A and B are shown apart, each in its own frame.
Chain A
Amino acid sequence: MFRRVAVAGAVAAVIAGMPASLVAQRGQAPPPAEPLSALAPENLAKPRPKAPFDLTGNWFVDTSAGPDAWRFGPPYPKLTAKAQKEFDTGMKLLKEGKVYKDDIGQCWPAGLPLIMTRYWPMAMIQLPTAIYMVSEFMNSFRTVFLDGRQHTDPDIVVRTFNGESIGRWDGDTLVVDTRHFRGDHHWMDQGGASIPAGEQLRIVERFRLLPGGKQLQIEYTMTDPEHWEGEWKSTKRFNRVNDSDIKEVVCLPDLNDHLKSTRSKTQVQ
């Protein structure tokens, strides 16, 4: 008897300590179960069609067309007034020998899409449920989920510079839809063409492994009505890198103290 009273008292005490919102949920349907991790054995073991290709490897943007091949423009789409102002400021300062809001240089993440085309390899590991990508540049991390999940509720998602990527197979093409980007300190170019990337940015990538398996092609379709009109399209190719592995690369707090250029009068924030 004493034991039952003690347990009931303990339960009452726990309920009393709960937030009102949790108490109100009592008696309602339980929240949906957490989705399985892409690395959960039971998720990996689910039957799925065989993937048309495997991107596992190190990839480096193809710059055979020229050293600017990493850029996604020009051509640039028609910019909104807000973005045009930033672009014009960047170009004006460039002519004056200055650099406008070079946030990557100040150690902010490059973010998508620029992270894909830095002059550093991108390691990719493909599993049935996801592709894990790590750029050697600042070891920036990106996951493309392939396990059928949906994008996270915008009200709870944690926005990031690489966004949330969900992929699906479309014949011999992997279609990746990325949303939920950070909309500050995030840019579509670097070094003059200062076009911001905002929270409305959405990037759809169509991945194809070209014949021979040594070259990856990604077609980009990018929209951000806050900063440009319509679709911004660009196609990039990447070559396999088989002679080196990515290493630890971090923008350490003291790095720019020894790179005076990042602290010089050339920098305009």
Chain B
Amino acid sequence: MKKLIIASTLMLSVVAPAFAHHSPAAFEAQKTVTLTGVIKEFRWQNPHTWIELYVPNEKGEEVLWAVELTSPTYLVRAGWKSNTLKPGDKVTVVGRPLKSGEPGSAIFTSVTLADGRTLVERPARQGGAK
């Protein structure tokens, strides 16, 4: 059963405001949405990778959600590849929804793949001095 769950949880991850090209203020800081659905498209690109997936709402209607991720530079370091997600894949994505309550948009927190693996974003680089 595909489910859409809005959960209030404390976010442990650090918010990196300037990491995106846009302000993160549109997104909830402490609420997450869990989206179980089917991948429509996964775009591996800069400055944002993004996922589009169909998720049924409470009425059973398919809703297209767009989930915004960081750039491939960081995702590669977290184990991602350009073909990690393919159209038709069933996945569970956790993200932070819009404060406006509009459905269909979230900023990424994690994805659980059909094979059970869970991937996250690599935290934003803290300067990278070596």
- Report yes or no: B100 in contact with A250, Cβ–Cβ below 8 A: no
Distance (Å) between the CB of A56 and the closest chain B CB?
16
Chain A: CB-nearest residue to B130: A242
Residues of B within 8 A of A239 (CB): 127-129
- Contacts A70-B17, A191-B17 hold; do A264 and B50 have CB atoms under 8 A apart? no
- Contacts A119-B18, A190-B17 hold; do A259 and B68 have CB atoms under 8 A apart? yes
State the CA gap A240–B104 with chains docked (Å).
Answer: 39
| A-binding residues in B (CB < 8 A) | 14-27, 43, 45-48, 50, 52, 66, 68, 71, 73, 98-100, 102, 104-105, 107, 124-130
Chain B: CB-nearest residue to A252: B45
Which residues in window 141-157 of A have CB below 8 A to B? none
Residues of B within 8 A of A137 (CB): 21, 47
Residue from B18, B25, B52, B128 having most chain A Cβ neighbours under 10 A:
B18
| B-binding residues in A (CB < 8 A) | 60-64, 67-68, 70, 94, 97-99, 102, 104-107, 114, 117-121, 137-138, 190-192, 214-215, 238-244, 247-252, 255, 258-262, 264-267
Distance (Å) between the CB of A190 and the closest chain B CB?
5
State the CA gap A64–B128 with chains docked (Å).
Answer: 10
State the CA gap A264–B102 with chains docked (Å).
Answer: 8
- Report yes or no: B130 in contact with A240, Cβ–Cβ below 8 A: yes
- Contacts A97-B100, A259-B66, A264-B100 hold; do A249 and B18 have CB atoms under 8 A apart? no
Partner of B22, one of A70, A97, A258, A261: A261
State the CA gap A99–B100 with chains docked (Å).
Answer: 11
Residues of B within 8 A of A106 (CB): 22
Distance (Å) between the CB of A54 and the closest chain B CB?
17
State the CA gap A61–B129 with chains docked (Å).
Answer: 10
Chain A: CB-nearest residue to B99: A97
State the CA gap A191–B22 with chains docked (Å).
Answer: 8
State the CA gap A99–B27 with chains docked (Å).
Answer: 10
Residues of B within 8 A of A258 (CB): 43, 50, 52, 66
State the CA gap A63–B47 with chains docked (Å).
Answer: 20
Residues of A within 8 A of B129 (CB): 62, 214-215, 239-240
Residues of B within 8 A of A105 (CB): 20-23
Distance (Å) between the CB of A188 and the closest chain B CB?
13
Distance (Å) between the CB of A261 and the closest chain B CB?
5
- Contacts A63-B127, A239-B128, A261-B107 hold; do A251 and B26 have CB atoms under 8 A apart? no
